[in-house]
Amino acid sequence: MSSAEGAKKRKVQHACVMCRRRKVQCDGDKNTEKKCSTCVANNFDCTWAERAKRGKRRSRVTKAYVESLESRLEQMERLLANVYPGGITSQELDIHTDHGNAPETHITSVSPRPIVTRKAMIGPAALRSDDPTSPSNGPESSDEEVDTFNLKLSDSLRNMTLNPGHHRFFGKSSGLAFVQQAIDLKTEHTGEQRHNMRDIFYRRRSEFLNRYLEDIPNQPDDPPFTFPEPDLARQLIDLYFTYTNSVSPLLHQPTFERKYADGLHIRDPAFGAVLLLVCAVAAPWCEDSRVLLPGSGAEHHAGWQWFEQVQSVKKTLLGPPCLEDLQMHCLSSLYLQGTSSPQACWTVVGIGIRLAQDVGAHRRKVYNTRLTVEDELWKRAFWVLVTLDRTLSAGWGRPCAIHDEDFDVDLPVVCDDEYWEHSDPEQAFTQPPEHPSTAAFFIAFIKLTQILAFALRTIYSINKSKMSLGFVGQKWEQRIVSELDSALNEWFDSLPDHLRWDPNIQDPIFRLQSCTLYA
């Protein structure tokens, strides 16, 4: 080696952990334990992992690797401290650190469900629960790998539930996400106390609303609801769950019956409005003359005296929407379809979908991992809005308010209302195998409307949309029609036996459901 070559700076043969991770040049020295400039500038611990030796190795786990895991665990604990201010103790996790045995961890919470990317597909395969591409199965979506913003905006993991009084949904592109990232970056470099944009948002919003309401003159309280007579109300409730809820399963009958028997409609205006709309929707099925609008004998006005008492849009746009708000929009749309103003249904459903997105009801991650009655009611309300949006959009020749790629919420559980609750929590939401489920109809109907939505976005879309989707050239319409035909055949083959049309069906509910699907 010449003297000139010897004077050259020796190349670092082994970079530190952080430089290898960032794929940057490392000027540190492992032998002299000299820290590299990258670690010094960022105040990192400059460590070197053991390099893998060639040949046969007894173990792949090195001491440096274990130390690296411990360092990452400490960082995760600090992140959890921001999300869970109360802290998580080793007693809560029941972690045993006996070096003679492998550590055992018993955590009461359940791990989050995997999130998958919805593929551009049509037909039953896109939503079938046992399909590898269904929302309940498949690889983790790249869209969710970096989606930690909602955790940072939450006071604790408990806020990641459908509690509209404490949770509003904000996506990654929102202004709050941008400001939160800027605050985190400033905190990392200055060491100042970290602020949560969620707290700032709600505090400022509350101050604004309080000041706004103070400037508004006192408005008279809404007049009390006028409910139908008890015997008529009982008749209308039975008709609703027989003819309407069996094909649009919005409500859970045992829960509704308990609330009604307890007189909650007298004390809670939200549930009172739901009851009035239930009576209005069921009115066309009732032969009692009291359902007709006083002074008008027109049958298409049946139930209007109860519908007009509910102003579902009056207060929901300022305050956080609740479950009853979504149910009111579903019921209002169902009622308006049979009136002289059916065109209003499409607008009402669109508002309901926006309210559902406001609280994140369209995202799987806001629901509990264990099935609950309230979560299933939220999912039912959302899916009823989606199916109404698709069918009404097709009927009026208008675009849908929401598309498959905009949500990833699971399908409603295939379990009849009477099996949702059980004294043994492990047996809740368990449909007896010998009893075909009436809830299977709604799953089949959702898949059918998905095919309808695909037709709206392809065959019936405007030319600009067709060009953006690549539907150009010759014979593309024949190809789309062929795909739709195949999807319909696959959907038909997937129908359970009790939903296949047979004029000799004995069960009136199954007969109504089968007729609805085939129609």
Residue 287 counted as domain residue: yes
**Residue 49: both structure tokens together:** 């992992």
Report the C-alpha gap between 214 and 210 in whole angstroms.
6
Q: Is the pLDDT of residue 181 over 80?
A: no
- Over range 57-81, report the average pLDDT: 74
Q: Using an 8 Å Cβ cutoff, are 386 and 354 in contact?
A: no
pLDDT digits (tens, 9 = 90+) for 367-397: 888 899 999 999 999 999 999 999 999 988 8
Q: How many domains does the chain have?
A: 1
Residue 85 counted as domain residue: no
Nearest to 421 by CA among 254, 256, 258: 254
Q: At what angle do helices 373-396 and 440-458 cross, to 10 degrees?
A: 40
Report the C-alpha gap between 334 and 329 in whole angstroms.
9
Residue 473 counted as domain residue: no
Residue 310 counted as domain residue: yes
Higher pLDDT, 239 or 478: 239
Predicted pLDDT at 19: 84
Q: Of 32-36, 129-133, 483-487, which range is least confident?
A: 129-133
Residue 308 counted as domain residue: yes
Q: Using an 8 Å Cβ cutoff, are 249 and 442 in contact?
A: yes
Q: What range defines the domain where residue 241 resides?
A: 227-292+301-359
Q: Which residue's structure tokens are 């994140």?
A: 360
Residue 109 counted as domain residue: no
189-225 burial, b at 16+ Cβ within 10 Å, e below that, comes to eeeeeeebbbeebeeeeeeeeeeeeeeeeeeeeeeee
> Within 10 A of 162 (CB to CB), how many other CB atoms are there?
21
Predicted pLDDT at 178: 66
Residue 438 counted as domain residue: no
Q: What pTM, to 2 d.p., does this model score?
A: 0.64
Residue 199 counted as domain residue: no
